[in-house]
Amino acid sequence: SIEYMNQTIILEPKNYKHSLKLKFQILTSFLSLFILGLIDQSIGSIMQYLLADYQINRIQISYLFLFQFIGYIISSFANNQLSLKFGIAGVYSYALLMNGIYCFLFSLRSPFVILILTSIFNGFGVGSLDCSLNLYIGNLNYSNQILGMMHSFYGLGCFVSPVFVIYLIHQGMLWNYYFLIIGSLITINFILVLILFKNETPAKFQYVMSSMNDGDDDEDTSVLNILKNKSVQFFATSLFLYIGSELSLGVWLFNYILKIKSLDEKKASYITSTYWLFMTIGRFSLAFVTGHYFEDNETYAMVIYTGLVASGCFSFMIFNQFLWIQIISICIIGYCVGPVFSTTVVISIKNLPKHLSTAGVSIICGIGATGAAVVPYIMGVISEKFGTDGGGLVYFPLVIFISFSGSFLMW
């Protein structure tokens, strides 16, 4: 421990091999990403029930994604200041609290306008949680591997969600009770954070920031200055396209299979979960490939991964008459898209100026996360505006190809 700003700061090992507590902190972060996966995929899985219960269309459903955008934007610009004031522990805790409020209001089957407004809380919570964990884990030893594993748990949550919720509904459970299950997991996660991250104080965060500045406190780390940085602009735009495409594929794939391919809910849930399963496998396995073969050359890995994803999307689009080829394409997309997020975070941490790395990554992740609101919303509008009763979903493969190809071309 050391004294900093008249406070005692406990500096702990950055190597999980030397710290049992750090191992539990990492496992806690895995649980958080698993929960985010459950939340993010829930809307796509229960969409048919939301449409029926609230007597709304897919454009109105898409407002849930659009209003998350507001929360993401707020979190992206506020995270650094909030971290300075409350520390990683504080940001992590209130992020889970925001997600908990979202799930609680969904579990009550609240009026749809309330669900739209509470999506702001969810966007804020997801953005803050994602940012705090990416910063914390990204500065540990073996960050490539651990970030890859952490984000694989997001994929695992998305994999579990469609099959699990459809199974429960078919067993007679109301769709809104699913959010009580997620809320219970959030409660457990919240308690673990309070116990395990209590030393991640505001003073410690400020100390880490000061260390990254190499003691130079005169560097301009204002939001405006960060946004002017071309690397920040590049990484934020890249993540925007990637995250938006990834979630849009996961959210609307279920409805595409259901509506355009005319398969039943059970088969649609299996196919959707297959995408998330391969993403989970990709995030886990390719993280080690990246760490072993592309250490300090992660950009080459990104070109390969995003190129394979774009190829898979092209196959998914042109072979739309052959479901089995589309399923294979989905597996390729999921597997190769898996490590993109964590690898981008690692590259950004390594390439940004030291005095901008913490605040810069915060804004990169925050702005990037807005893609999860914007791209699915656009797909929702297309599904209703270019067809009757969701008939516009026929353009789903084209939209996914364009958005993922944009990410590839950037790299």
Q: What pLDDT, on a 0 to 100 scale, did the predictor assign at position 225? A: 80
Q: Which pLDDT value is given to residue 38?
A: 92
User: Residue 14: inside a domain, yes or no?
Assistant: no
Indicate whether 333 belongs to any domain. Answer: yes
pLDDT tens track, the chain, 411 positions:
677 777 778 777 788 888 899 999 999 999 999 999 999 888 888 888 998 899 988 888 888 888 888 888 888 778 878 888 888 899 999 999 999 999 999 999 999 999 999 999 998 998 889 888 887 887 788 877 788 788 889 888 988 888 899 899 989 999 999 999 999 999 999 999 999 998 888 888 887 777 766 555 555 567 778 888 888 889 889 888 888 888 888 878 888 888 888 888 888 888 888 888 898 888 888 877 887 788 778 888 899 999 999 999 999 999 988 889 999 999 999 999 888 887 888 888 788 877 777 678 778 877 887 887 788 888 888 888 887 766 788 888 898 899 889 888 888
Report pLDDT for 252: 85
Distances (CA, A) of 154 to 30, 74, 287: 8, 22, 14
Give domain status of residue 293, yes or no.
yes
User: How far are the Cα atoms of 30, 75, 121, 136 from residue 83, in angstroms, in the given order?
Assistant: 21, 11, 18, 11
Inter-residue long-range contacts of 6-10, CB under 8 Å, 24+ positions, other chains counted: 7/201, 7/203, 9/201, 9/203, 9/204, 9/207, 10/199, 10/204
- The reported pLDDT for the residue numbered 216 is 53
Query: What domain range is 356 assigned to?
Result: 20-212+222-410
- Does residue 8 sit within a domain? no
Residue 138 within a domain? yes
CATH number assigned to the domain comprising residue 239: 1.20.1250.20
Number of domains in the chain: 1
Asked, for residue 204, whether it belongs to a domain, the answer is: yes
Residue 6 in domain? no
Look at residue 11 and tell me if it is in a domain.
no
